[in-house]
Structure 1
Amino acid sequence: MTIKTKGRHAALAMAAAIALGVTGGAWAQASSAGTSDTSSAGNTNGGGLPQIEQQGSVSYTSGGVGLDESKALLREQAQWPLSLRFTGPTADYLSGVHVRIVDAKNAEVLNAVAMGPYMLVKLPAGSYTVYAKYKDQEQKHAVSVAGAGKAKAAFHWSIQ
């Protein structure tokens, strides 16, 4: 093989690698278009914290199915006014819990589904009632939000 031929092969190999890289990136973008990624791997918050969602003036995040998310949510709960935890039989962590929070005037301030056993909520100071429904069983807890890391409520169901 001559030096000229080696140079052409190297150039062709480089062009092929670049083409694969470009199409691979385009395929990855196209395959994720239109999805709603709520996993920590796709978040923009970093540190394993799940995506922060917004409903009106209330911000919230939920998750904790994976170890990174669990650690991030537990670490961050001191920065959020309200922390919620959802467990089932034998302290199993639950996801898919429907959460509804109403203020002292019975106005709904949050209506969401928890993506894991932990939910952090930014609410203004005040009194609230948190309704949590898992399968067909609803529970409620009154909470008083006074500042970051102060209000916590744990919900436990004995159903599978």
Structure 2
Amino acid sequence: MTSKTTGRLAAAVLVAAMSAGMAGGAWAQASGGTTSDMSSAGNTNGGGLPQIQQQGDVSYTSGGVGLDESRALLREQAHWPLSLRFTGPTADYLSGVHVRIVDGKGGEALSTESMGPYMLVKLPPGSYTVYAKYKDQEKKQAVTIAGPGKAKAAFHWNIQ
């Protein structure tokens, strides 16, 4: 084989492998497949944004442990109705905060654990109460969802 033929063969194999990988990802999405990997590595959102999760009608994503994830979440917050931030002593970023969002009628809209200091949530317009619990200390804030990039809440704990 000439080097030209070898190069073409290698390119064809690479294209076929990439196409199969993309088709496999599309199939998993179309078939309702989910992933338990909530890290940004290998997610389908791109740009460093952590995997988007779904709970009922509510979409959310959280993370920000690495610089790429932090930048992606901060950049995207203008497109999400609610953005949350969790910090500890000396403005340390926290993960593992249990977040519960209750709507104006007392119904639970979301109950999950943050994977980092930032959480973005897509909720319909309305009034909500956000409960954030770190270790044994729960805090709450009322928020009004009026549109993308409008509602923000920051939670700070003085415990390690």
**Under TM normalisation by the shorter chain, which class is it?**
0.7 to 0.9
Q: Which residue of 1 aligns with 2:52?
A: 52
Q: Which residue of 1 aligns with 2:41?
A: 41
Q: Which residue of 1 aligns with 2:81?
A: 81
Hey, which bits of structure 1, 4+ residues long, moved more than 2 A? none
SS of corresponding position for 1:44: coil
Distance 2:91 2:73 in 1: 18
> What does 1:76-155 correspond to in 2, within 5 Å?
76-155=76-155
Distance 1:39 1:103 in 2: 28
Q: Alpha-carbon deviation of 1:55?
A: 0.4
**1:61-111 deviation line (CA, Å, top 9, x unaligned):** 000000000000000000000000000000000000000000000100000
The one-letter amino acid paired with 1:157 is W
Q: Alpha-carbon deviation of 1:36?
A: 2.3
Unaligned runs of 5+ in 1: 1-34
Q: Alpha-carbon deviation of 1:38?
A: 1.1
SS of corresponding position for 1:77: helix
Unaligned runs of 5+ in 2: 1-34
SS of corresponding position for 1:68: helix
| Paired positions, count | 129
The one-letter amino acid paired with 2:60 is Y
Q: Alpha-carbon deviation of 1:37?
A: 1.4
Percent identity over paired residues: 84
The one-letter amino acid paired with 1:48 is G
**1:99-152 deviation line (CA, Å, top 9, x unaligned):** 000000010000000000000000000000000000000000000000000000
Distance 1:145 1:103 in 2: 11
The one-letter amino acid paired with 1:155 is F
Distance 2:149 2:87 in 1: 20
Distance 2:43 2:159 in 1: 32
TM-score computed with the length of structure 1 as normaliser = 0.78
Please identify the structure whose Cα radius of gyration is greater: 1
Distance 2:70 2:100 in 1: 22
Distance 1:42 1:60 in 2: 18
CA RMSD of aligned residues (A): 1.7
